[in-house]
Structure 1
Amino acid sequence: MIALLHTSPVHVPVFDALRDRDHPDVELLHTVRVDLLERAVDEGPDAVAPALVDALVDAVGRGATSVLCTCSTLGAIAEASAVAVGVPVLRVDRPMAAVAAGRRRVAVVAALASTVEPTVALIHEEARARAGQQDGLGPAQGPDVHAVVVDGAWERFLAGDRKGYLDAVAAAVDALGDADVIVLAQASMADAVERTRTPVPVLSSPRSGLQGAVAALRAHQRSPRGSTG
């Protein structure tokens, strides 16, 4: 069982559909905590770390053996909680960031400003890993990353205007200039890909993130610790 930590209920049917299509033998346990993102936006992600750990520990207590955090703002905090939680914890945007890290010019599109710094930092982290570097050993010879926050998009999302939200994201993507790849920083943006006209590859996180979580689950099950429960 994979536990998914969401900060919006809109993600539940998206990931259920991806599971049904790609991983029908995997059980998903959804936890929706809108309050965690609201507090993280106001006080910073570190402020919600204890509550986040409690939510994940509860999911593990209900049988989860792997965790996927679908909120990009909280992704780094979630991954850092893996030792306390006791099972693999993956942020949904890591597989996407690993792909983007291999390109020279990366554009990040976000609807929420708090998502920008974690997403950009993750791409640079993956670039260092690709270059065989470690933190503190000098700058990575990685991509040039620039970010755009889509004006008014998050307000549309909060108001339930899904069409307006996706249209605004797609318009922002199509307005971008020089980029080798475009990263949609939030999982809720994924359906905007089909509305874009840009020839530049546009990456979204839900499908690759779930694939990564399933891979982590399989690896955990094969490990001595995982096989003994």
Structure 2
Amino acid sequence: MQQKTLGLIHTSATLVPMFQQLVSEYLPQVKVFNIVDDSLIKNTIACGELTPSTARRVVNYVGSAEAAGADFILVTCSSIGAAVEAAADLTNVPVLRVDQPMADQAVRTGKRIGVIATLSTTLGPTSDLVKRRAAVAGKEIELQAVLCEGAFDALMSGDGAKHDDMVGKALRELSTKVDVIVLAQASMARVADALAPEDKKVPILASPGIAVQHIASLLKQA
């Protein structure tokens, strides 16, 4: 059987080692290459939304990944998810936005779903995705979206402790009101991992591991 190739498209270089570790754990037989452009997320944050020009660049990167030989393409940033879905329609290999398998798992897990983010540009697209995946599954849900204002700025200015403290507090509070929590950003996963067992009243889902395991199951079926 020919070795498969996974193309990863990131908007932050910090995500490369995280996904490298997940791929070596769940997809040891798969070749991987990375495309990184942090201007995609910087432009999206500066504009407050995903603009058509940034979306076009995302589509171009997906096309480049296909041309480079990817059998499967994963885009690891939730803020540009709408462009990923547009790219999927133009590409001859499977293209996945990182948060879709997580959204599907949340819909299967409970009716009251909490979505938490440190960026409004991520909170909107992830909340929208959860609603649409619930509709696909034919399930009624109640969505509660929470924005940790200031946490992302703290992280960007090098104050990781302040970011983690703010996100942790928001997670503890939200867990008393919902059946399952969705982390809209991969950067928040370490905070959920560090919570005390008594603070994890409900499942807290992070997209990277769920997405890579989903690809592993798809490749097995293929």
Superposition map of 1:91-102 within 5 A: 91-102=97-108
Aligned length, in residue pairs:
211
Q: What are the superposed Cα offsets for residues 78-110 of structure 1, whole Å, 9 maximum, x if unpaired?
A: 122113233211011111101111311111110
- Alpha-carbon spacing, 1:161–1:31, altered in 2? closer, same or farther (3 Å): farther
Q: Which residue of 1 aligns with 2:115?
A: 108
Q: CA deviation at 1:165?
A: 2.5
Superposition map of 1:136-175 within 5 A: 141-175=139-173
- Aligned partner of 2:207 among 202, 205, 208: 205
Gaps (5+ residues) in structure 1? 132-140, 223-229
Superposition map of 1:1-229 within 5 A: 1-43=5-47, 44-47=49-52, 48-102=54-108, 103-131=110-138, 141-176=139-174, 177-196=176-195, 197-217=199-219, 222=222
Q: What are the superposed Cα offsets for residues 138-176 of structure 1, whole Å, 9 maximum, x if unpaired?
A: xxx521101111121111222233343233212210122
Question: Which residue identity lines up with residue 121 of structure 2 in the other structure?
Answer: S
Q: Is the 1:6–1:69 Cα contact (8 Å) retained in structure 2?
A: yes
Percent identity of equivalent pairs = 35
1: CA distance, partners of 2:177 / 2:21? 34
Q: CA deviation at 1:218?
A: 5.5
Q: Is the 1:167–1:195 Cα contact (8 Å) retained in structure 2?
A: no
SS at match of 2:90: helix
SS at match of 1:63: coil
Question: Which residue identity lines up with residue 77 of structure 2 in the other structure?
Answer: C
Question: Which residue identity lines up with residue 184 of structure 1 in the other structure?
Answer: L
Question: Which residue identity lines up with residue 50 of structure 2 in the other structure?
Answer: P
TM-score by length of 2: 0.88
**Deviation above 6 Å: which 4+ runs of structure 1?**
none
Q: CA deviation at 1:204?
A: 0.7
- Alpha-carbon spacing, 1:192–1:185, altered in 2? closer, same or farther (3 Å): same
